[in-house]
């Protein structure tokens, strides 16, 4: 039977063999009830898998090899939404999302904060270990731990995938840094838990869906609105564009810049503000922003999962 692009992406050979059976089983369950499926990037046992289960225990987690694959699963109807990490308290932003979100056509309908705890796991607990495989963010978050032990960090597509890779390798001289759940799934032994360098290590996830939430239905909740914009190429354009938020008392909790294309001639800005369209102060601030911009694209208004400030 023909499989869509998203489905074929779920079973790419890049998933280590120990993960493939689980991926197929989870994919089959999601295919039966796609409206309950939440797509995520990574192998079963990844932090994104944990986030899905924590945010929506009744959901059907749908593992995808890439962020693009998770987004495509929503666009094709194979999943009701996708859960994507957007920033980490230690490693900073997850860069891919800034480029994928504007092109996806999806809207942010929620956010979730996940406490990140990494474990060092291997086929044998004894060591010593020559290298540890994991996602670059997890390696960055455990940099001091690895340096102190002389373990070489080795990049892998995701945390749980690295655990599956170590299990498949049969090499007891290498380890993986992944959630403890991955050790259970792939038959590894936990050498040490909580190997992250910071005890308050946290990742913020956003939930993406085809349909945006109506801000008018969220009036009884504190909300956040996310958008990207490109200012006009004139002196003080950014300063002027930001002025409307200050004069109208709208709290901007996040502002990040990134380059659009390879010419370095167009800078895009990603922003989060507290509030929603329909609020007079927000509407005035957004109107002033638009006056100083080449374009503004809103990605959705959604309930605040954690109070800012």
User: Tell me, what's the pLDDT at 5?
Assistant: 39
For residue 26, the domain's CATH number is 3.40.190.10
Which residues form the domain of 169? 119-193
In this predicted structure, which of 24-33, 209-218, 266-275 has the lowest mean pLDDT?
A: 266-275
54 CB-side CA count, 13 A: 18
* Residue range 246-260: mean pLDDT, rounded: 92
* Residue range 155-161: mean pLDDT, rounded: 91
Task: Assess whether pLDDT exceeds 70 at residue 234.
Answer: yes
Say how many domains are in the chain: 3
Q: Is residue 215 part of a domain?
A: no
- Give the DSSP per-residue string, 88-125: ETTTEE-THHHHHHHHH--EEEEEEEEE---EEEES-S
Task: Assess whether pLDDT exceeds 70 at residue 163.
Answer: yes
Per the CB < 8 A criterion, the answer to whether 276 and 307 are in contact is: no
pLDDT range class, residue 131, cuts 50, 70, 90: very high
Instruction: Share the mean pLDDT of the chain.
Output: 90
| 74, 175: one domain | no
Per the CB < 8 A criterion, the answer to whether 181 and 201 are in contact is: no
Q: Catalytic site residue 299?
A: no
CA–CA separation, 181 vs 78, rounded Å?
25
Q: Is residue 309 part of a domain?
A: no
Task: Assess whether pLDDT exceeds 80 at residue 92.
Answer: no
User: Tell me, what's the pLDDT at 7?
Assistant: 42
* Residue range 244-255: mean pLDDT, rounded: 96
Q: Is residue 308 part of a domain?
A: no
| 41, 127: one domain | no
For residue 244, the domain's CATH number is 3.30.70.260
User: Tell me, what's the pLDDT at 52?
Assistant: 97
| 174, 73: one domain | no
| 112, 125: one domain | no
**Cα separations (Å) of 74 from 22, 40, 103, 206, 225?**
20, 10, 13, 14, 21
Task: Assess whether pLDDT exceeds 80 at residue 98.
Answer: no
User: Tell me, what's the pLDDT at 258?
Assistant: 83
Range picked from 55-64, 94-103, 197-206 for highest mean pLDDT: 55-64
Instruction: Mark which of 148, 181, 209 sits at the end of a domain.
Output: 209
CA–CA separation, 82 vs 41, rounded Å?
9
Q: Is residue 305 part of a domain?
A: no
Q: Is residue 240 part of a domain?
A: yes
For residues 59 and 266, the model is more confident at 59
| 54, 21: one domain | yes
| 274, 233: one domain | yes
* Residue range 86-105: mean pLDDT, rounded: 81
User: Out of 15, 159, 203, 225, which one is annotated catalytic?
Assistant: 203
Instruction: Mark which of 142, 177, 209 sits at the end of a domain.
Output: 209
CA angle 66, 71, 72 (to 5 degrees): 95
pLDDT range class, residue 8, cuts 50, 70, 90: very low
User: Out of 205, 227, 229, 299, which one is annotated catalytic?
Assistant: 205
Task: Assess whether pLDDT exceeds 60 at residue 4.
Answer: no
Q: Is residue 268 part of a domain?
A: yes
| 263, 289: one domain | yes
Task: Assess whether pLDDT exceeds 60 at residue 13.
Answer: no
* Residue range 176-186: mean pLDDT, rounded: 96
Task: Assess whether pLDDT exceeds 80 at residue 191.
Answer: yes
| 88, 162: one domain | no
For residues 95 and 64, the model is more confident at 64
| 133, 93: one domain | no
CA–CA separation, 29 vs 59, rounded Å?
11
% of the chain surpassing 90 pLDDT: 75
Instruction: Mark which of 182, 209, 236 sits at the end of a domain.
Output: 209
Q: Catalytic site residue 247?
A: no
Q: Is residue 128 part of a domain?
A: yes
Task: Assess whether pLDDT exceeds 90 at residue 242.
Answer: yes
| 110, 134: one domain | no
Q: Is residue 276 part of a domain?
A: yes
| 233, 186: one domain | no
pTM: 0.88
Which residues have a Cβ under 8 Å from the Cβ of 48 and sit 6 or more positions away? 40, 41, 42, 83, 84, 85, 158, 205
pLDDT range class, residue 177, cuts 50, 70, 90: very high
| 83, 138: one domain | no
Burial of 33 (0-12, 13-18, 19+ CB in 10 A): exposed
């Amino acid at each position: 039977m023909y499989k869509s692009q998203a489905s074929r992406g779920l079973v790419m050979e890049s998933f280590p063999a120990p993960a493939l059976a689980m991926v197929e089983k989870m994919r089959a369950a999601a295919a039966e009830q796609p409206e309950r499926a939440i797509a995520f990037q990574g192998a079963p046992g990844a932090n994104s898998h944990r986030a899905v289960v924590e945010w929506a225990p009744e959901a059907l987690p749908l593992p995808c090899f890439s962020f693009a694959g998770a987004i495509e699963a929503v666009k094709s109807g194979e999943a009701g939404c996708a859960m994507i990490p957007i920033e980490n308290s230690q490693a900073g932003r997850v860069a891919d999302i800034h480029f994928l979100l504007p092109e996806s056509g999806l809207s942010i309908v929620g956010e979730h904060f996940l406490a990140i705890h990494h474990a060092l796991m291997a086929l044998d607990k004894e060591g010593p270990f020559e290298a540890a495989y994991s996602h670059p963010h997890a390696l960055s978050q455990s940099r001091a731990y690895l340096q102190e032990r002389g373990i070489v960090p080795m990049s892998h597509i995701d945390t749980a995938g690295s655990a599956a890779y170590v299990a498949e390798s049969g090499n007891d001289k290498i380890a993986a840094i992944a959630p403890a759940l991955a050790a259970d799934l792939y038959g590894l032994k936990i050498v040490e838990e909580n190997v992250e360098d910071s005890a308050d290590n946290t990742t913020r996830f956003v939930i993406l869906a085809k349909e945006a939430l109506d801000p008018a239905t969220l009036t009884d909740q504190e909300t956040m609105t996310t958008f990207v914009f490109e200012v006009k190429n004139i002196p003080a354009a950014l300063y002027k564009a930001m002025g409307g938020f200050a004069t109208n008392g709208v709290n901007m909790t996040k502002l990040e810049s990134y380059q659009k294309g390879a010419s370095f001639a167009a800078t895009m800005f990603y922003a989060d503000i507290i509030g929603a369209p329909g609020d007079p102060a927000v509407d005035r601030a957004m109107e002033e922003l638009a006056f100083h911009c080449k374009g503004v694209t809103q990605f959705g208004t959604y309930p605040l999962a954690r109070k800012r400030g």
